[in-house]
Amino acid sequence: MESQSELSFEQGVKKLENILLKLESEDTPLEEMINLYEQANKLTEICRIKLDEADKRMTKLVKNNNNELVEE
């Protein structure tokens, strides 16, 4: 598995979807479910950070005196 910091947002979401499918399976043993849950928490945090970074890059806008959005 590649370094989680190298994952794109989309790759992280795809991995989360795969984990969810395994967690929903009745055949997944409890110990594996716990490990999957831990992985999902880490991936969720990585995706949240990447989303926050993208949001900051896209929203460096401020309103000027005429209430128009301008890039800061």
Digit-coded pLDDT (tens) for 27-57:
999 999 999 999 999 999 999 999 999 888 7
Q: What pairs with residue 62 in β-bridges?
A: 70
Residue 1 has pLDDT above 50, yes or no: no
Task: Give CA angle at 38 (34, 43), nearest 5°.
Answer: 145
| Higher pLDDT pick, 45 / 3 | 45
pTM: predicted TM-score of the whole model, two decimal places: 0.73
How far is CA 42 from each of CA 12, 22, 29, 53, rounded to the nearest angstrom? 10, 16, 20, 17
